[in-house]
Structure 1
Amino acid sequence: MKKAEGAFLTISELAAELDVPQHILRYWETRFPKLRPLQRAGNRRYYRPDDVLLARRIHHLLNVEGFTVKGAQKALSEGGVVLQPPEPAAPPAALATPAVDTLLARLEDVRATLARALGV
């Protein structure tokens, strides 16, 4: 049974989602101060949606990107890391314009002159 979006997750649910042992999540809590799940009686942890997102980011940095714990701490303190790669830039508009053609011809002349000077 899947929980509703935004529901709190227990440590076992989050550990299963990230495929890491529960003790790793408890370790991350000691190294990443912003990761603070709600703790109820008996120290039962409940991860809020923001905690879940942060845990996913930490997991991505450490286990996918290969950061060290210190590197992940630094990356998160500098404004975080985007989980999804940026979309590729649109291809540049038509490159074959008169100005580009003129510049290209001039550069080829310079290259030829340098090649002759160097005896290549």
Structure 2
Amino acid sequence: MAVASSGKADRAFRTIGELARETGLPQHMLRYWETRFPQLKPLQRAGNRRYYRAEDVALVRRIDRLLHQQGYTIRGVQQLLDVEAEPDMVATLRIIRHGLATALACDMQAR
């Protein structure tokens, strides 16, 4: 089992404070990114306490790298993440379309 610099296992949940310390990013920036990137959805518990999953941590690191090392703008990162999510959406829509077409064909045969 891999252990992060915080002493927690890589798969362990992180609070916003722990993630901020690990990444060197201020907490307010992490909260702002949640408003700009819908893919970043930490769990929120009582008192709006945020818990970041391993996938969230990886996404935060990627967004940070794209913005601060590779020179992307917020909008550029949004577009990049949207394009990457699109194949999943297209596949889901094709499955739905197939299901609807099958249901329609069955309905037409029943008449």
Is 1:58 aligned to residue 63 of structure 2?
yes
The code of the aligned residue for 1:46 comes to Y
CA radius of gyration, larger in: 1
Shift of 1:77: 1.5
Is 1:22 aligned to residue 14 of structure 2?
no
Aligned length: 80
Per residue, is there more helix in 1 or in 2?
Answer: 2
Give the TM-score, by structure 1 length: 0.63
CA distance in 2, matches of 1:5, 1:49: 7
User: SS state of the match for residue 45, structure 1?
Assistant: strand
CA distance in 1, matches of 2:84, 2:73: 17
Q: Counterpart in 2 of 1:40? A: 45
Q: Which runs of 4+ in 1 moved over 2 A?
A: none
Give the TM-score, by structure 2 length: 0.68
* Structure 1 segment 6-17 matched on structure 2, within 5 A: 6-17=11-22
The code of the aligned residue for 2:22 comes to E
Shift of 1:18: 1.4
Percent identity of equivalent pairs? 60
User: SS state of the match for residue 67, structure 1?
Assistant: coil
Quick one: which of 66, 70, 76 aligns to 2:75? 70
After superposition, the CA RMSD in angstroms is 1.3
